[in-house]
Amino acid sequence: MDSRQVVGRNVRRIREERGLSQEELAFETDLHRTYVSGVERGVRNPTVLVIDRLAKALKVKPHELLQRSK
């Protein structure tokens, strides 16, 4: 699994734990919903700035989005 897929799985998992839709997360991060979807599917390569915005909206530290599950 590459880093894009790791970030995508973590974003989706945390978003769902928080009870947010992709649209709500997109609104909170000022990103387009289709971009959030692409990140979650691992087809987008989010920049450090995007990872920071996602982490803030999800109320986690940015490194948590990059951690591989054990």
Question: pLDDT digits over 2-36, tens only?
Answer: 999 999 999 999 999 999 999 999 999 999 999 99
Place of tokens 């909206």: 57
Residue 65, C-beta contacts closer than 8 angstroms, at least 6 positions apart: 7, 10, 11, 14, 51, 54, 55, 58
What is the CATH number assigned to the segment(s) 3-65? 1.10.260.40
What is the four-CA torsion angle of 11, 17, 22, 24, rounded to 10 degrees?
A: -120
Q: What is the pTM of this model?
A: 0.94
